[in-house]
Structure formats: C-alpha cells, structure tokens
Amino acid sequence: METELRNAIRKLLEEKTVDVAIGYGRVGVGGAVGAVFVTSPDEVDQLVWNNECRQNLAVHLTRPEIKALGKIAIVVKACDARAVVVLANESQIKREEIVVVGVVCEGVVKARFDGSNGEQFFEKCASCVEHAPKNVDVLIGDEAKAAELDAKNAPTAATSGNQAKLAKLRAMTSEERFQYWRGEFSRCVRCYACRQSCPLCYCNRCVADKNRPTRIETSASMKGVFAWNLLRAFHLAGRCVSCGSCAAACPAGIELDLLNLTLVNAAKEHFNYVAGEPGVPPLIGTYSLDDEEDFIR
Amino acid sequence: MAKIGVFTCWCGENIARHVDVEAVSEAISKLPGVACSMNYKYMCSEPGQSLISEKIKELGLTGVVVASCSPHMHLKTFRKTVELAGVNPYMVEMANIREQCSWVHSDKAVATAKAIELIGIAVAKVRRNAALQPIKVPVTKRAMVIGAGVAGIQAALDLAAGGVEVILVEREPSVGGKMAGLSETFPTLDCSQCILTPRMVEVGQHPNIKLMTYSEVEKVDGYVGNFKVTVRKKARYVDIAKCTGCGTCWNACPKKNKIPNSFDYNLGNRGAIYIPFPQAVPARPTIDADNCLRLQSMKKGKELCGICMKNCGSQAINFHDQDELVEFDVGAIVVATGYKLYSIGKEQENPNIKGYGEYGYGKYKDVIDSLQFERIISASGPTGGEPKRPSDGMTPKTVVFIQCTGSRDNAKGITYCSKICCMYTAKHTMLFKHKVHDGAAHVFYMDIRSGGKMYDEFVRRAIEQDGALYHRGRVSKIEEIKVDGVKKYRCYGADTLAGEPCVVDADLVVLACAMVPSDGVTKLAQKLSVGYNEYGFLSESHPKLRPVETNAAGVFVCGACQGPKDIPETVAQASAAAGKALIMLSQPYLTREPEIATVDEKLCAACGACVQTCPFKAITIEEIRDRKGNFIKNTSRVNPGLCMGCGTCVSVCPSKSVDLIGFTDDQVYAELESLLA
Ligand SMILES: Cc1cc2nc3c(=O)[nH]c(=O)nc-3n(C[C@H](O)[C@H](O)[C@H](O)COP(=O)(O)OP(=O)(O)OC[C@H]3O[C@@H](n4cnc5c(N)ncnc54)[C@H](O)[C@@H]3O)c2cc1C
Ligand code: SF4
Ligand code: SF4
Ligand code: SF4
Ligand code: SF4
C-alpha cells in the first residue's frame, strides 16, 4: 500500500497536477510519524503509511503558508476525508483545486507519552464503519477489506468505543457528570493544542483571543476553562467529524472527543445530520423559507 | 470627554405615578460622564424638546439619553431634536421607563430603582455611541401592487395617476376580487358591479399599468427602492394579445356548464375554457388544465378534443403554453391580497381554529356562506338575481342568518370581530325582503356593531322598514327536517333578551363567516419579510401612526389583508398606501438607517455561517485581492442596501468578526457591565 501511495503521489507531482503533497512521514523525534510536505517526485520515498498515521492532515489545508506552495494533494483517512468536505462546504478550500488521496485505514494506534507507539487503538476506530474514505479523487487500498471491516464493526458501532464511554457518562446524574467534567477541565492549561490540531478550528482570530470586549474569560481559572471548552464544543456542533485529533493533541489528556460526540449524536438523533456530506448546508444556522419549524420564519 | 445629558420624562402621570422622577434625576446625575440630569412633564412636547436643545447648547452635550417611552414611539422625535441642536442624531439613546417599567410595576420603590438601572444602561451605551450618517440608496420609480381586488385596483390607479409605472399582479384570471361578486353594497345599496367594473376597465386600459393576471409572486430580492421581483405567469393556454374575447371557444367547449365556477363559489358552472364572469378584465378566457380534455389527453400522448382551438378565428389558443417567469425592478410594493371566508365545518389549515360541524355546512346544500348568498341575490349571479336555494331551486320564504360564525368565538379559535358581518347581514335581510315580499328574515346575533357614517341608520332601516327579525342569541344546532314533504332546516337558537329558546324552521341558512386572510399570504409575507399576526393578517408598522407601512421598508399594505374591513375603509387605505408609496418614489434617493452589520474583513474566516443565516440575503462571500489581482483571502461582506440590522449574523459568527453598527459588542457589553456594576 505504501508503494502504491508513493507511486500515486509521484505521478501527481511528475505530471505537475499538484505542487505539493501533504502526507505522513517519519519526521518526529525518534522517528515518530508526522506531516511531510513533498514538493518533488524524488522525495516521495519519505511518505509512509501505517497505523501510526494518526494525525488529521486536513488541518494544513487552511494554512496560508501551505496554500502559498500551490496546488495541493493530501493523504486522508476516512474521518479526515469528512473534514475536507466540511472545509469545502464552508468555503475554506475549493474542492476542485485539491487532489484528495484516500487511504483505506484499518485503525490507528495511540501514542505513548514518550512518543513511542502504544498497542492500543483509538476508541473511534473500534466503532468505525467507514474504513474506506469517501469523496476522494484517488483511493489506495483494498476496498473489499474495508467493507469487511465495516461489516464487522457495524453491529456494535453504536455501543462500542467512544459511544460506550459516553454512555457511561450519560448514565451519571447531571451533578456527577458536572463533577466529572469539572475534574477534566481543571487540568486544561489553555494551551489551545486542541484548537491548533482541529481542521475545523480555522478562524483567523479565535473568539477566545478577542478583546475589547472580551467575550470569554481568558485565564485558566475554572470559569475560563469551562467557558473555553464549552464554547469550542458548541462551535463544532454539527461540524465535528470525530477524527479525535483534539483529544489526541491535548497534553492534559482531556477526552474532548467525548464532549463533541455528545453533539454529534444529538445532530444525528434530532436532525438526522452527519457532518461531512458534500453540498449539505450547515446544521446550525440556516435561514430558509421552507424551514420545517414555523416559528423561525 | 463625554458630556451626557439625561432627560427623564414624567409622561404626565404615566411614568411619574410609579417612578420617583426626582430621585431618578438625582441618582443619575452622579454617573460618570453625566453633565446634566433633569426631568420634565412631557419631554416630547415643545417645551420638553426645547429643554433638551437649550442644554445641548448651554453645556455642549456630546450625547443625550431620554428616559421615557419606547423608542418605537419617539426615537425619531428626539433624534430630530438633537440634530436641530447641532448634535449627530445617533448620539441619542432612549431608556424605556414606561412600557418596561412604570406600566408593569406598582411598587414605587422597585420601579424607581429599576428606572435608575435602565437609564444607567443607556448612559453606558451612549458613551460609546459614534456619530453615524444615514445610508443613501437609489430609487426605481416603479411600483408593484399584489392582489387586484378593490384595494389593489384603487392603489394601482392612484399610483398610475401619480405618474408611476405600476405592475398589478393578480393570481386569478380576472381583476376585481370579492367585490366583483357582491350584489349591492351597504350603506347605500348601490350595485357593486356598477361601481367597480368601470375601475376594472380603467386598470386594464391605463397606459401606466401593466396587468399581470393569472400570475403570482415567485421571489423577491433586493431592498427598498430597489426590489427585484420575479413573477410567475401561469400557463393560461390563451394568448391574450391575439384573443379578441369573442367567446366562440367557451361556447363551443364540450365541458361548458359542467365545471363548478369558483367565482360563483361553486353555485354556478363554467366550461374548461372560461371567463369567470362576463365583466372580467381582461375579458380573455383561461383554460383550466385539470378539466380540459385536450390537455389531459396530452399527458397520455393523445390529442383529444381541441374544439376551442379549431373554432378560434385568431389562433389564440396554444396547448403548449408554459409557465413563464418575468422579472421586474420596482421601488415599492403594495400588498393587497385581501381575504377569504373561514371554512366552516371543513378541515382547517390553521390547527388552532375549529369549524362548526353542528351547522352542517357542506352536508346540507342549503346551508351556505355569506359570499354564496351574495351570488344568489346578485343580478349577475348564477340565478340571475332570483333568490333560489341551491338544493332544489325553491324560492326560500324563511331565511335564517347567523352572525359571528367563527368570529368572536374563543372556543373556535378566532377571537376577533370580522367587523363587516353586522352590516352585510342587515343588507342581506333587506335585499331578500325586497325580492321576497312575504318572506321572513331571521337574524341571530351577539351584538350589532354598526359604527360608521349612516351605518346604524342602515341597520335600523332593515329592522324597522323591512321588518327583519333580530334575535339576540346564538344557534346551537341545525337539523334537516321535512315539513309537508318540503325540506327545512330547523335552527335551534336562543333569544337571550326574551330569555327563551327560539327555534326557526328555515328554507335557507346563511352563515356570516369570519374573514380570514387569503390562502398563501404567509408564504408571500415571508418572501417580503413582512410580519403577520397569529391569523395571518399582515402587520402594519404602527397601528395608529404608520397604518399602511410595514416593518419591511418599501412594502405597504392595504385592504382586507391587513385586517377585516369594508369597501370604504379598504379604498381609503389603498389610497393611503399609494400616497405613501408615491412619497417614497418621489425622492431622488432614499436614506436608510445606518445601523447595519459590518464585517471586519481582516478577521473574517469566511466560514459562511452568517451568509447561511441572514434572513435578508444581505451577506455574500467575496474575494480580497491585491492591486495586481493576486488572491489574498476570502471574506464575507454586507450589502448595506439589503441589511436590515437584525443582528443574526453577529450571533452566529463563531469568531465575532461581524458587528452591528449602533449595537456593537462594545456597546452591548458596556450595557451589561453597567447592570452588573
Ligand atoms: C358577504 C360579504 C358581503 C360584503 N358586502 C359589503 C358591502 O355591502 N359593502 C362594503 O363596503 N363591503 C362589503 N364587504 C366587504 C368587501 O368584500 C371587502 O371590504 C373588500 O372586498 C376588500 O377588498 P380587498 O381588495 O382588500 O380584498 P379582495 O376583494 O379579497 O381582493 C384581493 C385580491 O387579491 C388576490 N390575491 C390574493 N392573494 C394573492 C396573491 N398571493 N397573489 C396575487 N393576488 C392575490 C385575490 O385573488 C383577489 O383578487 C362584504 C364582504 C362579504 C364577505
Ligand atoms: S473537534 Fe476534535 S474530533 Fe472534532 S473535528 Fe475537530 S479535532 Fe476532530
Ligand atoms: S488542548 Fe487540552 S489543555 Fe490545551 S486548551 Fe485544549 S483542552 Fe485545554
Ligand atoms: S444584521 Fe446581519 S443577518 Fe441581519 S440583515 Fe444585516 S447582515 Fe443580515
Ligand atoms: S460568520 Fe463570521 S467568520 Fe464566518 S463568514 Fe461570517 S463574519 Fe466571517
């Protein structure tokens, strides 16, 4: 698969279809997998594909310095592919100007704190039913295998992985749940790693950085961490694609993806809405004369 | 340094009764930036306004707070005052200490404390106000009138007489509305057709009026002075330019007299190709596609009938006609979509309204509504003006009229009075008695509401001269019975004045049903961004002071679409709306309030959240390019002509890159902080 991927990217670069390819390479300390930006066909051997490719590379699509390199190809997993769709829906990228190279993913493993690889797969992977990315231009990997994995996970998708964890939280009383999040948020240092790693947190100036007037408390006090984390969750309602980057990036190990999953589930349950479908209007905030709700017109 | 003047009004006793204005002035004078704090009996009066301008001049005030009534009432007044005194009109804020304070509190101490807080908020805001300039927008000197009942006809004629081009849009094949189907009209009993048809002809011929019949408004874009309206001209299958209205076609149609005519409220029949009534304007036929043999057969790939086409000497019939979308640029829009009668006993569109199953409407053929009765006694109606009942054509001797069917009935869900039923019921009894001299006209009523010039006299005439029998009470049930082999309708009523039940066996029952807005008016209102009440009657901007304006700038209302009313009132309102529209269209340019949204284009992430939510489609995503044309970034941008300043975009913007001028974050937070301080 890795060879197949390298060949595909080489071809794109050779034929000048793209100027830069964003993919995975062993660029971190001790050979940890991170993003590489390949601009010449000779460099494609830097590219790797394995279960350590946990980052969502779509975060780079909106960065001006990457855009400045020219036409982009990007390597995505299925969850990442959805983020690309949301970015296109929200006019952050012109989809037709980007070549999306999807890779069939069989799950990615968590990193240990020292940067080495754990054996443990991400919870999101346990309930994944979309192993082959959708809405891509090139698909690398075995689709039949992907379908097999989808089928295997399907029966337990709603009850395994993060959903299982969330179910535990939902079973608590609201007071217990509040105390749980209080404990989690109390570790937040307002480093904004979650924001930096999320492909959908692309604002030029985050409202958390707004002053005159300050919209939300900026300190890492209890008030500040609640305000920040809830605000971020709400800004991702109907948009979060459950890629898990935020939780993976958080140095305090806060399970941010559970917070977002609550809203992902609500969107599905109440509006039958799944983020990352092409051309679909946003869930929150659309004005339409045909709105089902009368009061809103 | 800010120098704020605060002027607290007593509003006579309205405010002063519950708010200690002296204590308020005293407390407010201590707030930072407040240079003077005074109170006066009527701030809006001449001496009140003079007080403000004197203080502005004397102290060099930079901002003014008037603590009085709602800004809806007098913001404009006070803006003028300060402007005349040389201060930018947007440096005024109002603190509403009447509607939101003195009127809702009875404890003087509480109300006084609240008034101080409310004024404190306004002071905090005005300190951050900026001088603003109104926005100027160009005007298209053309108007559209939607609905061509008597209201729309009058408005169109007045606008046209004022030299403005008018597009008159009517969804039926002919203009005229309900009035074209009425018999004679109260309070003078002149024939409805005789007074209306000349005006119908006039709108058809006026060089300034473009008639668009059998057409509906599809889409409204743009803004005051610059609307772009798309009108759907429905397929009529007759080219009205070629047609001479000779009538060969409708006389030859094999379906002639076989299809219920909605103009006669289904009491008479017409053909598949038809004119709704002989005096129709334009006097050109329309093909009813659902009932036309040819058009129906074409769906199955065949070509049946076509007799009308074969007989038409002008080749005016085209079975391949299609709906057409026509765009018009207009500066002002007058809505005159009128009313319909509420459907008694039938399924209601509005879930909050119930019908009258107990009256048997729809089940008993001789229980009819008031508009049907108008057709039965109208010389142009299906019976040629002979009062004949629908079931068997018998001349009714005893007629029962039931007023307030639906209206003023909380249990049925319509709380309002339809206003005209007392009058037309009196008229009905007279017209009936004039035709059936030995007949009996019984009226069941709740109250007789006949305010108006010559109105009460009219009702008295019905009772005293024509012998109408009025019973104060309601009918609880109607039952079909047979008396000597003749069908009768037993009405179980009550006469509350006599204090006894009152049962009448009627040959015909006429229900004076509540007036409700025309079908589809709420959809239209949404397209126009005009408000409407729970029943769908369109909302005027102010019930007393701006009765024909709406809250959508450049859109006016008149006639029964705004609320139940009779012809004199409808016509007066139509002329008023036309007058207001003419005033607007006569300006070289329009000014608009500058309180609109503005995007910080450097910060905007161009996520499009605001674009999706703006109810006025006022925001678009645009590209920013440098002078050489290189792309820099996307941003959203507000069209100042379209933005209504609702602030929806501000609330959805995740990065708060958009702000509302006059209600900036800075101002709103200052207001909140003043409350928390
Ligand atoms: C039984 C009865 C008797 C009456 N008798 C009298 C009387 O004797 N004297 C008196 O003064 N008043 C009388 N009235 C009241 C009178 O009918 C109304 O005051 C008058 O017709 C109101 O005129 P209008 O133009 O507002 O509405 P309408 O006459 O209803 O006209 C509205 C027009 O708009 C059109 N329209 C509606 N929606 C649209 C749309 N979306 N797009 C385009 N066109 C649209 C309709 O087809 C119609 O042609 C009577 C009413 C009733 C019910
Ligand atoms: S919020 Fe977290 S899980 Fe959701 S899209 Fe952003 S990084 Fe991925
Ligand atoms: S990454 Fe974690 S610690 Fe950092 S701001 Fe986000 S939640 Fe807080
Ligand atoms: S304030 Fe914003 S949402 Fe409202 S009309 Fe203006 S641009 Fe649209
Ligand atoms: S919502 Fe805010 S960030 Fe998004 S496009 Fe509008 S102004 Fe820009």
* Predicted confidence (pLDDT) per residue in B116-166, tens digit: 999 999 999 999 999 999 988 889 999 999 999 999 999 999 999 999 999
Do the Cβ atoms of A203 and B523 come within 8 Å?
A: no
| Ligand 3 center–CA A60 separation, angstroms | 19
| Token digits of residue B416 | 């309002």
Q: B512-545 pLDDT, tens per residue?
A: 999 999 999 999 999 998 999 999 999 999 999 9
Residues in chain B: 677
pLDDT, tens digit, for every residue of A133-180?
999 999 999 989 989 988 988 888 888 888 999 999 999 999 999 999
Residues B76, B15: one domain? yes
Residues 590-619 of B with CB under 8 A from A: 602-609, 612-615
Q: Which ligand is nearest to the CA of B155?
A: 1
The pLDDT of residue B630: 87
Average pLDDT over residues A54-59: 93
pLDDT for A125 beyond 80 = yes
Token readout for A32 is 């940890």
Tell me how far CA of residue B494 lies from CA of B364, B368, B472, B524, in angstroms: 22, 21, 7, 42
Q: Which ligand is nearest to the CA of B633?
A: 5
pLDDT of the residue at B346: 62
User: Is the confidence at residue A123, as pLDDT, over 90?
Assistant: no
Q: How confident is the model at residue B200 (pLDDT cuts 50, 70, 90)?
A: very high
A166 and A262 Cβ atoms separated by less than 8 Å: yes
Residue of A65, A71, A90, A286 to mutate, testing the B interface (most B Cβ within 10 Å of its Cβ): A90
Give the mean model confidence (pLDDT) for residues A1-23.
93
Q: How confident is the model at residue A111 (pLDDT cuts 50, 70, 90)?
A: confident
For residues B471 and B416, membership in a common domain is answered with yes
Q: How confident is the model at residue A295 (pLDDT cuts 50, 70, 90)?
A: low
**For residue range B444-480, what is the model confidence (pLDDT) as tens digits?**
999 999 999 999 999 999 999 999 999 999 999 999 9
Helix (H) or strand (E) holding A261: helix A256-271
Tell me if B526 and A282 make a contact (CB, 8 A cut-off).
no
Q: What is the pTM of this model?
A: 0.71
Beta carbons of B666 and B120 less than 8 angstroms apart: no
Q: Do A286 and B606 touch (CB under 8 A)?
A: no
Of B516, B538, B553, the last residue of a domain is B516
Residue B116: inside a domain = yes
In a domain, B395, yes or no: yes
Q: Is the dihedral of CA B573, B574, B578, B579 positive or negative?
A: negative
* CA B64 remoteness from chain centre: 37
Rounded CA separation A163/A242 (Å):
11
* The last residue of a domain, from among B256, B288, B322: B322
Query: Do the beta carbons of residue B586 and residue B166 sit within 8 Å?
Result: no
Q: Do the domain assignments include residue B448? A: yes
From chain B, pick out residues whose CB is under 8 angstroms from the CB of A287.
612-615, 648
In this predicted structure, the answer to whether residue A294 has a pLDDT above a threshold of 70 is: no
SS3 A284: coil
Query: Is A115's pLDDT higher than 70?
Result: no
Query: Does the pLDDT at position B210 exceed 60?
Result: yes
Buried b (16+ CB within 10 A) or exposed e, B538-568: bbbbeeeeebbbbebbbbbbbbbbbbbbbbe
Question: Tokens in use for B193?
Answer: 């057709």
Does residue B225 lie within any of the structural domains?
no
Comparing CB atoms, the residue among B523, B603, B615 nearest residue A287 is: B615
Query: Are both B397 and B499 inside the same structural domain?
Result: yes
Q: What is the pLDDT of residue B222?
A: 87
B106: exposed, middle or buried (Cβ count in 10 Å: 0-12, 13-18, 19+): exposed
pLDDT of residue B628: 92
φ, ψ of residue B252 in degrees (nearest 5): -90, -15
Say how many Å lie between the CA of residue B83 and the centre of ligand 5: 35
Q: Which of B602, B621, B654 sits opposite A91 (nearest CB)?
A: B621
Nearest CA in chain B to A211: B666
User: B73's torsion region: left (phi>0), alpha (psi -120 to 50) or beta?
Assistant: alpha
B137 found inside a domain: no
In CATH, what number is assigned to the domain containing residue B412? 3.50.50.60
Partner A contacted by B664 (CB < 8 A): no
Please name the residue whose Cα sits nearest to atom 2 of ligand 2. Answer: A246
Distance separating alpha carbons of residues B390 and B508, to the nearest angstrom? 9
Per residue in A76-105, pLDDT (tens digit) is 999 999 999 999 999 899 999 999 999 999
Any CB–CB contact under 8 A between B300 and chain A?
A: no
**Same domain, residue pair B371 and B446:** yes
- B149 shares a domain with B47: no
pLDDT of residue A112: 66
Is the CB of A215 less than 8 angstroms away from the CB of B654?
A: no
Domain boundary pick from B266, B288, B322: B322
pLDDT of B476 reads 94
The answer on pLDDT for B304 being more than 70 is yes
**Which token pair is B34?**
């407040």
- Which of A206, A285, A289 has its CB closest to that of B526? A289
The C-alpha of A285 sits at a distance from chain B's nearest C-alpha, in angstroms, of: 5
Which residue's CA lies nearest to atom 48 of ligand 1?
B177
Tokens of B332: 């002002």
pLDDT band of residue B617 (cuts 50, 70, 90) is confident
Q: What is the mean pLDDT of residues B235-253?
A: 95
Mean pLDDT calculated for residue range B348-372: 88
Q: Which ligand is nearest to the CA of A255?
A: 3
> Could you tell which of B144, B150, B178, B459 is best to mutate to test the pocket of ligand 1, judged by most ligand atoms within 8 Å of the CB?
B178
State the distance from the centre of ligand 4 to the C-alpha of B642, rounded, in angstroms: 8
In a domain, B394, yes or no: yes
Q: Using the mean position of ligand 1's atoms as its centre, give its distance from the Cα of residue A43 in Å.
A: 79
Q: For residue range B315-359, list pLDDT tens digits in order.
A: 999 999 999 999 999 999 999 999 999 988 766 777 788 888 889
Residue-wise DSSP of B141-192? SEEEEE--SHHHHHHHHHHHHTT-EEEEE-SSSSS-GGGGG--EETTTTEEH
Please determine, for residue B412, whether its predicted confidence score (pLDDT) is greater than 90: no
ipTM: 0.87
Dig out the tokens for B358 from the structure: 């107990």
- Decide: helix, strand or coil at residue A148: helix
Residue B560 alpha carbon to ligand 1 centre in Å: 6
Residue B226 lies in a domain: no
Question: pLDDT confidence of B227, banded at 50, 70, 90?
Answer: very high
Distance CA B457, CA B117 (A): 55
Q: Distances from the Cα of B427 to the Cαs of A278, B460, B466, B567, in angstroms?
A: 63, 11, 10, 14
What would the pLDDT profile of A172-220 be if each residue is shown by its tens digit? 999 999 999 999 999 999 999 999 999 999 999 999 998 888 888 889 9
B135 CB-contact burial (10 Å; exposed 0-12 / middle 13-18 / buried 19+):
middle
A205/B657 touch (CB, cutoff 8 Å), yes or no? yes
Give the model's pLDDT for residue A264. 93
Give the pLDDT of residue A7: 94
User: Quick one: which atom of ligand 2 is closest to the CA of A249?
Assistant: 7
Tokens 């192993």 map to which residue? A131
CB-based contacts of B579, cutoff 8 Å, min separation 6: B158
When the pLDDT of each residue in chain B is averaged and rounded to a whole number, the result is 95
Q: What is the pLDDT of residue A297?
A: 53
Residues B255 and B368 in one domain: no
Residue with tokens 């069939």: A104
Q: How far does the CA of residue A205 sit from the closest CA of chain B (Å)?
A: 6
- Closest residue to atom 30 of ligand 1, CA basis: B338
> Is the same domain home to B365 and B487?
yes
Identify residue A217 by its one-letter amino acid code: E
Same domain (yes/no): B448, B500:
yes
Range of the domain at B399: 341-516
Q: Are residues B253 and B157 in the same domain?
A: no
Residue B454 contacts A, CB cutoff 8 Å = no
pLDDT band at B80 (very low <50, low <70, confident <90, very high): very high
pLDDT greater than 90 at residue B607: yes
Question: Measuring from atom 6 of ligand 3, which residue has the nearest CA?
Answer: A194
Out of B595, B610, B613, B648, mutate this one to test ligand 4's pocket (max ligand atoms within 8 Å of CB): namely B648
The predicted pLDDT at position A296 comes to 58
pLDDT recorded at residue A283:
86
Within-domain flag for B228: no
Q: Which residue has the tokens 């204090």?
A: B499
The answer to whether B247 and B312 have CB atoms below 8 angstroms apart is no
**Quick one: which H or E segment has residue B193?**
helix B192-205
Tell whether B252 and B311 lie within a shared domain.
Answer: yes
Helix (H), strand (E) counts: chain A: 11, 7
Helix, strand, coil percentages for chain B (3-state, nearest 5): 30, 25, 45
B148 shares its domain with B209: yes
d(CA B237, ligand 1 centre) in Å: 27
Pairing of strands B324-330, B226-233: antiparallel
Could you say which of B526, B608, B656 has the minimum Cβ distance to residue A207? Answer: B656
d(CA B231, CA B327): 6
User: Cα(B637) to centroid of ligand 4, in Å?
Assistant: 10
- Judge if B334 and B347 occupy the same domain: no
Which tokens hold the place of B442?
A: 């019984």
* Closest CA–CA distance from residue B643 to any residue of chain A (Å): 15
Is residue A194 within 8 A of residue A248, CB to CB? The reply is no
pLDDT band at A24 (very low <50, low <70, confident <90, very high): very high
| Confidence tier at A30 by pLDDT (50, 70, 90) | confident
A103 Cβ contact partners less than 8 Å away, ≥ 6 residues apart: A1, A5, A49, A53, A75, A76, A77, A133, A139, A140, A141
